[in-house]
Structure 1
Amino acid sequence: MGHMGRKSSKVQALKSSQPSPPTMTTTTIFGPHSTTLGAQDATRNRLASIDMQTKNIEVEKASLLSRSEELDAALKSLQAERKAIFNRIAPISYLPNEILAAIFETLHASLEDENTALTTLSEVVVSHVATHWRAVAIKASKLWTRIKFRSSQQSIGLLELYLQRSQRLPIDLFVEIDNSNTDSYNHLIRPHVGRCRHLSIYTDERADLIKQLNLLSTQSTPFLQSMDLLCSSTWRGLSQLDSNRPSGGAPNLSALRVRGVEIEDLFDPLYILQSIRMMWCEQIGPRVLHHAANLTHLTLAELQIYGGEYQSISTITLPRLLTLSISIRDAEDGALSEFLMALDAPRLEVLHFCNIGETDTSPLWTSTHFPSLHILALDHDLSEFGLLALATNCPHITHLAYGDKVEDLQLLLKSSRVESGAQTATHWPNLHTLYLDTPSAPGAVVEMLIARRNIGAPIRKLLVPIKVSLDFHAACSGHVEVERMRDHLKALYPNWQDWNSGKWAD
């Protein structure tokens, strides 16, 4: 038994020391590349699945988008229908078209003096509110009679639209010309120039201004009431007018403003100025004034005047002149007095001096030249000597507008003399309305008011700017009626609306 146990153990040990037979596996049979090929197949299958899902999603999305577009179209249609129904039942929709058009025209007229861009004008706004409003606005020809054209914008299409919609009505034409080509504009506007009621032409070059005026030379302009002409360049050039006047004349032309060029370079005064009532210019010669007998309002701005220019000429009679405004750019000593001496204006009521400074206003001219003068407006830069000269030359002033320091005026108004045993004002004894543009401390003004009252020439009404302090108003109101104003000229100038009725706006 012992030998059998030991033999069995040896046999088992011998068996365990011998190598085991090889195991049959896939790796052993196909090699190491079989795993990579299987992974690639799985990846391709996944890509195919993703492509299929993407396609299905895109098809579904396209279907939804198509449905969304259909819904949007249906929604817009319903909204438009609702808006149309709402507009039809709105109270204003029951107005006859004629009344609605009249409302549009009233709005349009109220904005006549507004210098706004063409795209923001009332006719454009109301024509985009509703279909019904648009139809009414387009047929309301009066809405399309104010036309603006800027050559830099080349808005020929818009210009043509306005010309069509205004039909045959008179138009107000505002033109700004730079160095751009204007052939298309000239061709389009030429047949319509005769419809102009107001004509504004602003150009850089004198040649362009002449070219635009030449469009008038072959036209009859029966509606033309006012012209505003500006040339920003001082170079005269070689351009010439085809004619000094429109072929059919301008019988209703009553207002003329010319800047940057002399009137005589543009028109023959004999033909153009006879009907002019309001004129605004920078330079003016005796020949022009001799042909302007119907002037009622004359403004001379930035005037350059030299000695001897008006000394030896015959008297210039302006029988209807009511207001004369003069702003001096350059004047030789005595030249302004020579100019005023040459004028005979028996109805002149208002004389407005601006920037005359040290200009000689010695009493070469007297009240006999302007017997009706009673309103005097004086802006800044007037010398003490000039103020005294004006007080001497214009003794019958009842309304005075003064734009300088009160202290310069105070001594003049407080001055008094004894006449027939009674104390009276030396200067402007009839003065009762005073406008102070730059009132200083109220104490000086109150002192002046008391002094005028004590010498028997009281100031009854004091006009001051709207910006003046309430303390100033309170201090003076116990001595005089005080009124705060935005524009004192409206209170001083007679027939203010007539004087300022030109369609120009700076």
Structure 2
Amino acid sequence: HMGRKSSKVQALKSSQPSPPTMTTTTIFGPHSTTLGAQDATRNRLASIDMQTKNIEVEKASLLSRSEELDAALKSLQAERKAIFNRIAPISYLPNEILAAIFETLHASLEDEHTALTTLSEVVVSHVTTHWRAVAIKASKLWTRIKFRSSQQSIGLLELYLQRSQRLPIDLFVEIDNSNTDSYNHLIRPHIGRCRHLSIYTDERADLIKQLNLLSTQSTPFLQSMDLLCSSTWRGLSQLDSNRPSGGAPNLSALRVRGAEIEDLFDPLYILQSIRMMWCEQIGPPVLHHAANLTHLTLAELQIYGGEYQSISTITLPRLLALSISIRDAEDGALSEFLMALDAPRLEVLHFCNIGETDTSPLWTSTHFPSLHILALDHDLSEFGLLALATSCPHITHLAYGDKVEDLQLLLKSSGVESGAQTATHWANLHTLYLDTPSAPGAVVEMLIARRNIGAPIRKLLVPIKVSLDFHAACSGHVEVEKMRDHLKALYPNWQDWNSGKWAD
């Protein structure tokens, strides 16, 4: 009964209406909205910073790993190269043979060095550890030494001096106005090892200072010297001594430019062993002390009338080759000089720019009895050629350095002897070098004329640059050969003064 009553009460309550609900509304102003946006921005910045930091940490880890991988890769590559080099056939060569190969390469490139050339000793010493060890111990690789005071390469100079040990050295020195005290101190104990010595200076005083390094030394290995002074100012420096204290018994080649020999040396002592000499100006007293000369080059020579007329004969009994370039000569002065020479073995005479003043015979036809090779670097008139043809009638080899028109007239001239047509000039000529061949027709005409008068040209030498048309036109009449060095072709013993070293 009580349960039924309770249910009725509950039903009655639920049927009655609920009281009204009170609703609370919050209203935000503009200031409240701005604060919320700033909080969101700060949160985003914090998030970006955190992400950036995480990325940087991850990147650093990757970079560290990359460096580790690079190091591991390089180690493996080095190991592979080492193993590969060990099993390469050349690695089985004894060190002595490998060093000999390096030395052969070094010698073959000796005359090809330029300012841009990488030296062979440097190349082979940077290939493998084994090669480097062999190259460093191969003293011959380090005997060609260059020093330029402008570069102050004292460290490199010292390295070469150490690695060359006690072997003779070829020393090339270029001195400008830089201080050379460090160089002088370093090279002085080694100057006596010089086999070849080149000294190029701006001032004569610097050249004298370098030569003074020799004055207290014995130079038993010295074979050749090349001295150049680019300034004509004489300066005040004097030689400490006229010659090395121990002499230079093997000195056989000397080139002097920009200075006179007698200003640098005592000719009585320095020239007795000289076989090859190149100079710009030389006086009779110097030549009197050079009796062993075999090759003499006089460049930019200045000679005056009467200079050699009153002197005693200059006897050069071993002279084989003479080259003369005239800078200034009075009429008849060249003839006086040549007639003053007694050179019975002279075989080759090279004239450059002898001028048109000497158009009369320069010497008697019997004065140089062995002369048979004549080289003319510049054009001469018909009269100049005729003077030479009269002076040296027994020429067999001729080099001509200009157009062939005047030469053509001389070579085509003929006469009659014993009823037969013969060449008037140079009847024994059989080898001809033309430096600037003209139209092939003129040359072919000359070749045919020589053949018809019984004095044929057997070999025609021409420059490498000659045209194919010229070669084809002449080859049907004579053997044609292209040459790079016509003087060497005419006279194999001709010395190349530009090679840097001239001694045998």
**How many Å separate the matches in 2 of 1:443 and 1:352?**
28
**How many Å separate the matches in 2 of 1:365 and 1:447?**
31
C-alpha displacement of 1:381: 3.1
**How many Å separate the matches in 2 of 1:156 and 1:297?**
36
The superposition leaves residues 133-155 of structure 1 with CA deviations (integer Å, 9 ceiling, x where unpaired) of: 11111111100000111111111
**How many Å separate the matches in 1 of 2:5 and 2:449?**
159
The superposition leaves residues 434-476 of structure 1 with CA deviations (integer Å, 9 ceiling, x where unpaired) of: 1111121222112212222222222122112222222222222
**How many Å separate the matches in 1 of 2:310 and 2:20?**
144
C-alpha displacement of 1:287: 0.7
- Identify unmatched segments of 5+ residues in structure 1: none
C-alpha displacement of 1:488: 1.5
The superposition leaves residues 463-500 of structure 1 with CA deviations (integer Å, 9 ceiling, x where unpaired) of: 12222222222222222222222221112114236888
Aligned counterpart, 2:91: 93
Aligned counterpart, 1:79: 77
Alignment of 1:356-505 (within 5 A): 356-496=354-494, 503=501
**How many Å separate the matches in 2 of 1:334 and 1:124?**
55
Contact persistence 1:327–1:353 (CA under 8 A): yes
Contact persistence 2:496–2:502 (CA under 8 A): no
C-alpha displacement of 1:400: 0.8
C-alpha displacement of 1:242: 0.7
**How many Å separate the matches in 1 of 2:290 and 2:486?**
28
**How many Å separate the matches in 2 of 1:22 and 1:149?**
113
- Identify unmatched segments of 5+ residues in structure 2: none
Aligned CA distance change for structure 1 residues 7 and 78 (closer, same or farther; 3 Å)? closer
C-alpha displacement of 1:65: 1.3
C-alpha displacement of 1:231: 0.5
- SS of 1:258's equivalent? strand
Aligned CA distance change for structure 1 residues 311 and 48 (closer, same or farther; 3 Å)? same
**How many Å separate the matches in 1 of 2:228 and 2:11?**
129
Contact persistence 1:199–1:227 (CA under 8 A): yes
The superposition leaves residues 189-228 of structure 1 with CA deviations (integer Å, 9 ceiling, x where unpaired) of: 1111000000011111111111111111111100000000
Aligned CA distance change for structure 1 residues 33 and 312 (closer, same or farther; 3 Å)? same
Aligned CA distance change for structure 1 residues 118 and 467 (closer, same or farther; 3 Å)? closer
- SS of 2:76's equivalent? helix
C-alpha displacement of 1:7: 44
Aligned CA distance change for structure 1 residues 8 and 468 (closer, same or farther; 3 Å)? farther
- SS of 1:333's equivalent? coil
**How many Å separate the matches in 1 of 2:300 and 2:388?**
20
C-alpha displacement of 1:17: 33
Contact persistence 1:336–1:361 (CA under 8 A): no
Q: Number of aligned pairs?
A: 504
Q: What's the Cα RMSD here?
A: 6.1
**How many Å separate the matches in 2 of 1:18 and 1:338?**
160
**How many Å separate the matches in 2 of 1:325 and 1:258?**
15
C-alpha displacement of 1:359: 3.4
Contact persistence 1:118–1:148 (CA under 8 A): no
Aligned CA distance change for structure 1 residues 475 and 166 (closer, same or farther; 3 Å)? same
Contact persistence 2:136–2:163 (CA under 8 A): yes
Contact persistence 1:294–1:321 (CA under 8 A): yes
- SS of 1:423's equivalent? strand
Aligned CA distance change for structure 1 residues 52 and 420 (closer, same or farther; 3 Å)? same
Aligned CA distance change for structure 1 residues 30 and 363 (closer, same or farther; 3 Å)? closer
The superposition leaves residues 172-191 of structure 1 with CA deviations (integer Å, 9 ceiling, x where unpaired) of: 00111111111111111111
Contact persistence 1:217–1:243 (CA under 8 A): yes
**How many Å separate the matches in 1 of 2:274 and 2:388?**
29
Stretch moving more, 225-234 or 362-371: 362-371
The superposition leaves residues 302-360 of structure 1 with CA deviations (integer Å, 9 ceiling, x where unpaired) of: 11111111110000000000000001111111110010010000000000001112131
Aligned CA distance change for structure 1 residues 200 and 235 (closer, same or farther; 3 Å)? same
What percentage of aligned pairs have identical amino acids? 98
Contact persistence 1:352–1:378 (CA under 8 A): yes
Stretch moving more, 492-501 or 404-413: 492-501
TM superposition score normalised by structure 2: 0.92
- SS of 1:496's equivalent? coil
Stretch moving more, 82-91 or 434-443: 434-443
Contact persistence 2:379–2:403 (CA under 8 A): no
**How many Å separate the matches in 2 of 1:350 and 1:487?**
15
**How many Å separate the matches in 1 of 2:345 and 2:377?**
23
C-alpha displacement of 1:398: 0.9
Aligned CA distance change for structure 1 residues 33 and 303 (closer, same or farther; 3 Å)? same
Stretch moving more, 407-416 or 494-503: 494-503
Aligned CA distance change for structure 1 residues 12 and 79 (closer, same or farther; 3 Å)? closer
Contact persistence 1:337–1:361 (CA under 8 A): no
Contact persistence 1:193–1:219 (CA under 8 A): yes
Contact persistence 1:253–1:276 (CA under 8 A): yes
Contact persistence 2:460–2:478 (CA under 8 A): yes
Poorly superposed stretches of 4+, deviation over 3 Å: 3-32, 496-502
C-alpha displacement of 1:89: 0.6
Stretch moving more, 138-147 or 33-42: 33-42
C-alpha displacement of 1:25: 10
- SS of 2:363's equivalent? coil
Aligned CA distance change for structure 1 residues 44 and 373 (closer, same or farther; 3 Å)? same
**How many Å separate the matches in 1 of 2:43 and 2:78?**
52
C-alpha displacement of 1:27: 9.0
Stretch moving more, 172-181 or 116-125: 116-125
**How many Å separate the matches in 2 of 1:89 and 1:197?**
40
C-alpha displacement of 1:502: 5.3
Stretch moving more, 267-276 or 50-59: 50-59
C-alpha displacement of 1:99: 0.7
The superposition leaves residues 245-271 of structure 1 with CA deviations (integer Å, 9 ceiling, x where unpaired) of: 111100000000110111111001001
Contact persistence 2:321–2:494 (CA under 8 A): no
Stretch moving more, 432-441 or 120-129: 432-441
Contact persistence 1:200–1:504 (CA under 8 A): no
Contact persistence 2:253–2:503 (CA under 8 A): no
TM superposition score normalised by structure 1: 0.92
**How many Å separate the matches in 2 of 1:443 and 1:6?**
153
Aligned CA distance change for structure 1 residues 14 and 120 (closer, same or farther; 3 Å)? farther
The superposition leaves residues 266-287 of structure 1 with CA deviations (integer Å, 9 ceiling, x where unpaired) of: 0010010000000011101101
- Structure 2 residue aligned with 1:184, among 174, 179, 182? 182
Contact persistence 2:379–2:402 (CA under 8 A): yes
The superposition leaves residues 407-458 of structure 1 with CA deviations (integer Å, 9 ceiling, x where unpaired) of: 1111111112222333221111111111111121222112212222222222
C-alpha displacement of 1:384: 2.4
Aligned CA distance change for structure 1 residues 89 and 358 (closer, same or farther; 3 Å)? same
**How many Å separate the matches in 2 of 1:159 and 1:238?**
29
